[in-house]
Structure 1
């Protein structure tokens, strides 16, 4: 993979290398490069930089380079990336010991006025990860209540696994969003029993995968409503 993401002209540009490595991993359909990319970002830690001597010919990474790596991760385009795959961007930031994002979401979850805080896409990925990993199963999750962009709400989709009732009403959902929902419910054990998608102008073909899950005895989804 290393040779496929940059050539000899970029040997001294660690931020370019890691950006291309991240893009390469996100193009993978099964996520088989995710752990490797996390490992590469972990090399940015000062305690691990000695491992870079034979790879990039340098023993110290400048603070400016590290900041560019962090900025690249936070701005990573998610147009064609599934919400589940986007969470790996958050993992890479954690590997770099960049804890501010984690702390921001912790503060957000403790806040009483969540609707006043506008969430970026990467913050939505972090929130989705923390919600789905929580030991407490949420009774209800309404993505419309979060102040973020449409793509931000897409990144929140994985969190529906860890709630009993979810609403994505009036979020401008598309067929691909329904595909993301179906994939989220298939890939891990899910507690979701009720799913409401009203107000999204969805047609029967758009929600076919979700309808199939509702009919399958292997899944818990009992109620699916896509029209009023």
Structure 2
């Protein structure tokens, strides 16, 4: 039987209004998600003032009907460690098919990262895109995430960790994991962290691995100088075929560093489509 839903003018006003959703509205949405006939694949609840209370209803619905939702965005909400622990119970469900999880600018600490990475280690094969940007993670959190990345069953393709207060210490764990399992990650965003030249040198050891398939590397505002550019361009010359987009904007890159980057961009042997800075 064909199912039809008729929306009145009043309903259209509600749908198109600029009112912010909250926990009560998430509870209503959750009643839809737990319906076994629901085929919703993408749910974006960015900046909706959702708290852990809303996460209780949401995750309860997804545990009862885990197989359809593919993309979940809870960024810029009041979701803390307890909320992430609830979401983790969904991720560890072998029937969960979630491919994208965005928790940018949520209030997550190491405690939340422990639960999240534990779930991903137990069920690593579905998630493709993970965003924990916005002062969530830190070096200790990156170390936990690295245990997921080094799992040969991990299929993560995009990892966003901008502005996460990551230093060289975090880069050591991250690059060690990517050297042991280099073939899946395609897009890495480490911008606005304290990476520096030493961190870039570590990342370069990943890029020079012939099994590395990284296509996008964003390192803007990472305190990188010409020294880091030397290591980076040397790695790309030894393995030139995969990287497409490189962003080193707003770093301390001088004329010699820009010259190295420009030579890579202009050389037909390389596949670089976007290089910044490009002066």
Structure with more contact order per residue of length (Cα contacts < 8 Å, sep ≥ 6): 1
Q: Greater Rg, structure 1 or structure 2?
A: 2
Q: TM-score range by the shorter chain?
A: 0.3 to 0.5
Q: Which has the higher helix share?
A: 1
TM-score (norm 2): 0.36
